[in-house]
């Protein structure tokens, strides 16, 4: 099973930057950066806050907002109803409590999100995978 490892390492204005690696066994399939809402972590729904560090299952969910299937994160503490997705976007205002991925980062957010998301979706399409988030 593929695992997306996210290590949060930097706080920016209203956001949290992380570094990610998509792994299968010990091989890195894809890497880049993530952007999430600012902390603190919360399990409470309907808040633009990041989810707690921990292990999640990513399953495929059709998002009416994005009009496509995207990975939906959940575990025993964070319900599917919270609708935490991995999707495109570049700035903290785009996170909506979700996880954004990109190729580079700066003090304002992440860059080339659309390209990196396409790569991730192509590598994980049609299969659930694990997501492990660590606060650094």
- Residue whose token pair is 């998509």: 22
pLDDT of residue 47 exceeding 90, the answer is no
3-state secondary structure of 56: strand
The 10 Å Cβ neighbour count of residue 102 is 23
Q: Are 22 and 123 in contact (CB under 8 A)?
A: yes
C-alpha 107/C-alpha 125 separation (Å) is: 31
pLDDT of residue 96 exceeding 90, the answer is no
> For residue 136, what pLDDT band results from cuts at 50, 70 and 90?
confident
pLDDT tens digits, residue range 56-88? 999 999 999 999 999 999 999 999 999 999 999
C-alpha 11/C-alpha 59 separation (Å) is: 28
């Amino acid at each position: 099973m593929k695992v997306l490892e996210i290590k949060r390492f930097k706080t920016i204005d209203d956001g949290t930057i992380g570094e990610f690696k998509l792994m299968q066994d010990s091989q890195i399939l894809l890497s880049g950066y993530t952007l999430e809402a600012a902390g603190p972590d919360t399990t409470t729904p309907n808040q633009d806050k990041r989810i707690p560090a921990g292990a999640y299952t990513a399953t495929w969910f059709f998002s009416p907002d994005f009009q496509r299937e995207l990975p939906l994160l959940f575990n025993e503490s964070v319900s599917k109803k919270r609708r935490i997705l991995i999707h495109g976007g570049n700035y903290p205002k785009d996170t909506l409590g979700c996880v954004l991925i990109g190729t580079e980062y700066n003090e304002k957010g992440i860059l080339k999100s659309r390209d990196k998301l396409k790569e991730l979706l192509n590598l994980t399409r049609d299969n659930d995978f694990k997501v492990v988030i660590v606060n650094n």
